[in-house]
Amino acid sequence: MVIHFLVTGRVQGVGFRWFVHREAQELELKGWVRNTDEGAVEVLAAGDAEDLAELKESLERGPRGARVDRVIEQKLADNEGAGLSSFQIEGAV
């Protein structure tokens, strides 16, 4: 199963991408997380439905210092996850 999440609120500059990376790796998900130019955080994750549901709960909670206003979830076709490898943070220096 492949899901795209868009997380809005105070989610940049608070360690959100690192938080997502850690959670996703613990769940052994594949995919990536990155900031958007609009101030949100975008996540593409592939794995078991149960693990993805657990990731969504983590996204709704966020790390300390974050304020999550909304998590928009969009299920994608399974082939969208074909080229994904271990979970990565895109745009991190």
Residues assigned a catalytic role? 17, 35
Helices marked H in 33-88: 49-61
Burial class (CB in 10 A: 0-12, 13-18, 19+), 37: exposed
Are 82 and 31 a contacting pair, CB within 8 Å? no
How far is it, in rounded angstroms, from Cα 66 to Cα 72?
Answer: 17
